[in-house]
Structure 1
Amino acid sequence: MKIAVVGAGYVGLVTGVCLADFGHEVVCIDKDEGRIAALRRGEVPIFEPGLVELVKSNVEGGRLSFASALGPAVAAADVVFIAVGTPSRRGDGHADLTHVHAAAREIAGAVSGFTVVATKSTAPVGTGDEVARIIGTVNPGADVAVVSNPEFLREGAAIEDFKRPDRIVIGTDDDRARQVMTEVYRPLYLNQAPLLFTDRRTAELTKYAANAFLAMKITFINEIADLCEATGANVQEVARGIGLDNRIGAKFLHAGPGYGGSCFPKDTTALVKIGQDFGSPMRLVETTIAINDQRKRAMARKVIAACGGDVRGRTIGVLGLTFKPNTDDMREAPSLDIIRGLQDRGARIVAFDPQGMTAASALLEDVRFAENAYDVAVGADAVVLITEWNEFRSLDLARLKTLMAAPLFVDLRNVYRPHEMRRQGFNYVSIGRSGAGQGDLASDAAE
């Protein structure tokens, strides 16, 4: 099939590359000519494991190309995916659909023959209706079926998620579109990925509901972690105890400094706004957002408390800046609030992240970026682990301790075993495992 993907950002690029890898002929389109030129040179503007290799192999195979002009690719396409950004709108928190609407207008002027226009961008209920209206207004003769096909990709595992999805949600009431979308995802039949066909509005809401539920799950275990610290229980054992219940499941039950990234913050906020628009308040989601915002600031206070209540003039080493491992994404990363909170109290910050320092340097002031984890520790009065990159999971603790001014290690991801840290001579602080509850279970891999 011939496929055009409008938007070569995170979702669009992963979508286009994976569809090309299925054997489809794909053109990724973006107005940013610098980005398109870089992609044509084989330079991928985002960090995602395995993406560079897939881009290279599919370009060489003639299945993937890049363009800044929309017209020719859309005219030839059987399916056009809209995968442009929908950030929170400045001032009110609604999803900003400016780019979606602009894409719809351009697509309307370029389509030829029956074309499925599938919205990949996370967009509020009713967006598909508006896209269909725009196309019909701009080009009344267009033979187009507008479909909602939300993405469920985890940064750092997006290729795996695309190729081995839990489900593929497709919102349409058009039989022709259903047949076309079935053919698009036919290569996934071997993986037995279920195609869930529903109406367009249900598909749109499913994406928001999924992200909001996961955000609530993270926030719930973070509150349980606080209770564990107060009572002497162990949050990791509590999480395991409830996660073994199939009705709950173990994923997203890892206590930490709060959620961040490009999806959960903006999607939970957008869902609250959707609820307000339709007179159906999302009170659990509202509370989740408030608790998560407070938690990030509370983590700075936790570090300060571990330092005896005063960090003025002290050097704090930070391990991990991105909101999660295996990405260079700094959007809404907990590290930003934690570092600023420490700086407000007079701390000097030295930080290292395997992929996020370039983006972080544009967001943080007065931070010295280190060359590696051990450089962070040199002269540090405390080391704080914020993002659980694999290379931080097996540090040479003896070496780390000799480099530090004081052996204080604050582990906001519960990567290390308390008894081992004590044996190595560290003053060790973690999440939800205080006092007698500081058990010996190492953390599972983060979601």
Structure 2
Amino acid sequence: MKSVTPGRMERVLGPTEQVFYKVRQQRPFNVVITARLSGGVSEARVREALPAIQRRHPLLRANIPPRSPPRFSRANVPEIPLQVVPRESADSWLAQVQQQINAPFDASRGPLARFVLVQGDSHSELICGYDHLIGDALSGCFVLRDLLKAMEPGSNGPPPPLQDRPAYEDLIGPPLPGTGVLNTVVSRGSSVLMRASPVLNRLSARLDSTPETPAEEVRSGFAYRRVEPALTERLLALCRENKSSLHGLLGAALLVARTESLAPRKKPVITITSALDARERFGVGEDFGLYTTGKTHLMRLKAQEERWELSRRLRAPLVAARKQPLHLRTFRSAIEMSSRSVDIAAQPWMQRCTRLGLDSMLGLSNLGRLNLNARYGDLTLEGVNFSGSVASHFDIVLASATFAQHMDISFLYNPPLMAPEMAERIASRTLEVLNEAAR
């Protein structure tokens, strides 16, 4: 296989990238974006276009040699691989997504991305999978769009190559005062706790009868739902009318569905973590990379709480966070400390402690309405699905994207924490709550 090595990229991974690098060493941590296409898609057409998008996006031609500290390199990185499988049914792509979210990447060799073409006569799915440490979900949407542009008959390929970018945290600026001291304390404390972890793991196991699944054997589960155009438009209109957002409504529906699935109790305690896009803040546009932060809320559903009230309650702190520069600096400080404690966070005793007093931990990532063209020569983009591996502490994560009036929703779950049957019930109930809100 040929290598792609234009230019030179040598920089140490940023704090978020280092956290994800450590996570991926324990289990796959991938993002998968699927473009659903009508029209004839040949293997040769895709292969001819792939080098152009690899030249355009620097992180698609990077690897991470085994050095300390870990750093990106471009030494002898092969071309992006393409796998072609037949489209035996309209749902064939679902099995391929399931495989891609759980298949690890060889970071030392690279590249940290791959494509699958689920090929049919008149309809096909083009799947882009990549390691989360090199890109957020919107990154994959831009790459698929660039690939489709490069595949257009008579095309000169995607737009020109983009410049190398520094780590996301360098764009944020300096962390909060005192972060350096806290980092030192966290590093030393983590070292002490790692030495004590074998004993702590045995002690905590005696208090928890749940069988422990080794991290390397954990694989993410995936359930899929699609919201039709009429309901999507109705929900968007009602969100505006009720001074809420689709993100808030999706979070409310997931929260209701998860609460109802738990053993009856007065007020379950649930955390819900939302991913927040920060691209506009830094003017990075459509670069491939990590440009998101997170915001976590501790939620207790109020008795007889109306769905739209819950939706607004979830939306308000997210709006505030987007407007506060301090949010980004706080995020940087938190992620720097997290990079020094990832190994401890993965220990069974720590994961048990993290969940003390909590009934469930949820995640929410909504890409919103994607600003992508529908036509690419003789091909039509009919839908975009966003899915991926789920972090080990979440029970279930809702990941959604809206394109061509369709809202595609993935429910990503941890089998050690949630059975597939339960995930399917939560997915179905979430859609029921959305339908109830639209009445």
TM-score if structure 1 supplies the norm length? Answer: 0.22
Larger strand proportion, structure 1 or 2? 2
TM-score if structure 2 supplies the norm length? Answer: 0.23
Q: Which has the larger radius of gyration?
A: 1
